[in-house]
Amino acid sequence: MGATTRAGFRPATACGCALVLAVTLTGCGGSGSGDSDNSRGPAGSSPSASRPGPNSPTPQAPSPVRMCSDLISYWAEQDLAGSRWAGLDWEQKGLSNQQYEIYDDIVHAARAERRRHGTPAAKALIKRLAERRCAAANGATHSSENWRPPT
């Protein structure tokens, strides 16, 4: 193990240097015994490891159009699948009046598409129509006054 290779280089010395370097770099990260509050996150990680740094970008909230599209797509697919949650009313689903109208139209179109071309085609139609209709309505976030029953 202590054999010398070229020019006096010893593999054991290289491993020792790598270990010293790794310990030194780890010590500079702010974790370890130097934490003043001794609080730990999951699996012993320091609290600072889970927080974004000062130069990390802040996650952006989805746009109203994206939220509308995702919400309508989700509930329309639940309806198409016959999920037990599909029977919730528009308010329980978190839909505005305008979103509910879009949802209702899309569900009717998706059911027809499923009869003609199958479930994968119906799901693709749901995504396309939700994106298109929500973009056209700028997120469809108008008031939920004047609720109308499903047709």
pLDDT tens digit sequence for 11-21 = 444 444 444 43
- Nearest alpha carbon to residue 127 among 75, 80, 73: 73
Counting Cβ atoms within 10 Å, is residue 146 exposed (0-12), middle (13-18) or buried (19+)? exposed
- Which carries the bigger pLDDT value, residue 40 or residue 136? 136
Q: How far apart are CA 106 and CA 108, in angstroms?
A: 5
Q: What global pTM score does this model have?
A: 0.56
pLDDT digits (tens, 9 = 90+) for 84-109: 888 888 888 888 888 999 999 999 99
pLDDT of residue 151: 58
pLDDT tens-digit series, residues 18-56? 444 344 444 444 444 444 444 444 454 454 555 666 677
Q: Which residues of 33-47 are buried (b: 16+ CB within 10 A; e: fewer)?
A: eeeeeeeeeeeeebe
What end-to-end distance do the CA atoms of the chain give, in Å?
82
Which residues, other chains included, contact 30 with Cβ-Cβ below 8 Å and sequence gap of 6+?
A: 46, 48
58 vs 65, more confident:
65
Residue 69's pLDDT is: 95
Task: For residues 136-151, give the mean pLDDT.
Answer: 68
CA distances from 30 to 27, 35, 36, 40 (A): 7, 7, 10, 12
